[in-house]
């Protein structure tokens, strides 16, 4: 990335660092049906629901509720998984989505898939007509108001072993194998003199051994991603780049040093460097990742997607304003406990919840 372009990106990030916790952006106009389906198809290219459905243990005869089903991608998968039995209720506030799901269900011969038009505010009266073994909300949580009350009421509609599953945008995505655009260049960069190199010093012994094994590139890619992600969320990682109360001039030019120092001061003011990292503190973890991403961008930018800056720059929609940790606190207040978390892609997580014991 040219130096002036990188500086522009860093200035943008500094603005976003303070903006991201601010008010939500104005609601965008609803996309037309064709565009909504294309968006869904593009998202599904990178976010696969099949592993999640397998993890949920979906079996024939279940009653499943897909809230905010959109064009129905997950609903179709769930109905097919039920093998013609049970019911999948695909609800949405948009009539065009509901009509589309109904027509497509007939075309696919899915008689157990029932599309339902519901109201846009609160828990629709329809929901109380059934008891559900599984309730799914994919990219919907951020759209709801009064969420604690909403999910407390919804909890009473779950069966004894019922589960609530929420899929939402990961605000601070980690590295994935897809980020490694030039593995050979990355290996060559890491295989040099390790003395004083914070990245090489923090590689696991197993990864170091794999660096010289050209026949084990796939294993090496996974090992590098694991090591890089461990570095990315480490609030003390900056120490390898810090000298005499300021960042090393041989590593950062002035604009990068100023921005990195500002991020570091933010972490110090929050007391994040005086205690072990708290992964449930969304604000702190985003700042840690922003800071550490700068090191990756400077050191390995030419070998990584987006020059190492990753996809953590938010696009400004309300979806990306809803932290997973805010959601977990709200669902705890609504009477749920976490059962399992899954990464569906570098950009989306799934959280499986169950009602707390009464």
Q: Is residue 66 part of a domain?
A: yes
Q: How does residue 40 score in pLDDT terms, banded at 50, 70 and 90? A: low
Burial 126-165 (b: 16+ CB within 10 A, else e): ebeeeebbbbbbbbbbbbbeebeebbbebbebbeeebbbb
Q: Is residue 112 part of a domain?
A: yes
**197 & 139 share domain:** no
* Structure-model confidence comparison of residues 269 and 41, the more confident one: 269
- Which CATH number is 91's domain given? 3.40.50.150
Mean pLDDT of all residues in 71-86: 93
**79 & 92 share domain:** yes
For the stretch 213-270, pLDDT in tens is 888 888 999 899 889 988 988 888 888 888 766 677 666 676 677 777 777 887 777 7
- Closest C-alpha to 18, from 295, 238, 286: 286
Overall domain count for the chain: 2
**226 & 237 share domain:** yes
Mean pLDDT of all residues in 41-47: 60
Q: Which domain holds residue 10?
A: 3-24+174-308
81: DSSP letter? H
**282 & 220 share domain:** yes
The secondary structure of 213-281 as a DSSP string is: -GGGHHHHHHHHHHHHHHHHT-TTGGGGGEETTEE-TTT--HHHHHHHHHHHHHHHHTTTTSS---TT-
Q: Is residue 17 part of a domain?
A: yes
Rounded to two decimals, what is the model's pTM?
A: 0.58
For the stretch 103-132, pLDDT in tens is 999 999 999 999 999 999 999 999 999 999
Sequence-distant (6+) residues with CB within 8 A of 8 are: none
Strand order in the sheet with 87-92: 113-117, 87-92, 63-67, 132-138, 158-169, 348-355, 336-345
Burial environment of residue 348 by CB neighbours within 10 A (0 to 12, 13 to 18, 19 or more): buried
Place of tokens 């003011």: 269
Q: Is residue 88 part of a domain?
A: yes
The pLDDT value given to residue 349: 83
**163 & 133 share domain:** yes
Q: How does residue 332 score in pLDDT terms, banded at 50, 70 and 90? A: very high
Contact 282, 168 (CB under 8 A): no
For the stretch 302-325, pLDDT in tens is 998 877 776 544 433 444 456 777
Q: Share the mean pLDDT of the chain.
A: 80
For the stretch 148-161, pLDDT in tens is 999 999 999 999 99
Q: Is residue 45 part of a domain?
A: yes
The mean-pLDDT minimum among 71-75, 175-179, 182-186, 216-220 falls in: 175-179
Mean pLDDT of all residues in 172-187: 84
The pLDDT value given to residue 13: 44
**192 & 143 share domain:** no
**210 & 275 share domain:** yes
**192 & 270 share domain:** yes
**178 & 103 share domain:** no
Q: Is residue 340 part of a domain?
A: yes
Contact 217, 211 (CB under 8 A): no
The pLDDT value given to residue 172: 59
**63 & 138 share domain:** yes
Mean pLDDT of all residues in 28-41: 64
Q: Is residue 114 part of a domain?
A: yes
The pLDDT value given to residue 113: 98
Q: Is residue 313 part of a domain?
A: no
* Structure-model confidence comparison of residues 48 and 144, the more confident one: 144
For the stretch 4-14, pLDDT in tens is 455 444 444 44
**74 & 145 share domain:** yes
Q: How does residue 18 score in pLDDT terms, banded at 50, 70 and 90? A: very low
For the stretch 184-213, pLDDT in tens is 999 998 987 666 788 898 999 999 999 988
**166 & 178 share domain:** no
């Amino acid at each position: 990335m040219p130096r002036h372009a990188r500086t522009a990106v860093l200035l943008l990030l500094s603005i976003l660092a303070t903006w991201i916790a601010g008010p939500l952006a104005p609601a965008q106009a609803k996309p037309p049906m064709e565009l909504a389906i294309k968006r869904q198809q593009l998202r599904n290219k990178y976010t696969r629901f099949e592993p999640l459905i397998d993890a949920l243990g979906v079996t024939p005869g279940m009653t499943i509720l897909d809230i905010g089903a959109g064009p129905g991608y997950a609903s179709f998968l769930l109905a097919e998984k039920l093998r013609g039995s049970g019911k999948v209720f695909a609800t949405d506030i948009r009539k065009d989505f509901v009509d589309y799901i109904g027509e497509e269900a007939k075309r696919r011969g899915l008689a157990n898939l029932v599309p339902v038009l519901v109201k846009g505010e609160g828990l629709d009266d329809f929901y109380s007509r059934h008891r559900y073994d599984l309730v799914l909300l994919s990219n919907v949580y951020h759209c709801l108001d009064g969420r604690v009350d909403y999910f407390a009421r919804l909890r009473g509609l779950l069966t004894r072993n019922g589960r609530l599953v929420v899929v939402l945008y990961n605000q601070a995505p980690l590295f994935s194998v897809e980020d490694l655009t030039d593995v050979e260049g990355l290996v060559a960069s890491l295989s040099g003199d390790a003395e004083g190199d914070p990245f090489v010093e923090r590689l696991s012994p197993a990864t170091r051994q794999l660096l010289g094994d050209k026949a084990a590139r796939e294993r090496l890619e996974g090992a590098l991603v694991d090591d890089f992600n461990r570095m990315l969320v480490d609030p003390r990682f900056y120490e390898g780049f810090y000298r005499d109360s300021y960042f090393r001039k041989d590593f950062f030019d002035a604009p990068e040093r100023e921005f990195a120092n500002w991020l570091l001061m933010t972490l110090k003011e929050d007391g994040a460097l005086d205690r072990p990292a708290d992964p449930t503190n969304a604000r702190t973890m985003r700042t840690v990742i922003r800071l550490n991403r700068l090191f990756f961008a400077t050191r390995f930018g030419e070998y990584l997607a987006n020059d190492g800056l990753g996809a953590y720059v938010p696009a400004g929609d309300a979806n990306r304003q809803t932290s997973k940790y805010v959601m977990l606190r709200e669902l705890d207040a609504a009477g749920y406990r976490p059962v399992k978390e899954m990464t569906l892609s570098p950009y989306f997580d799934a959280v499986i919840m169950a009602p707390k014991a009464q």
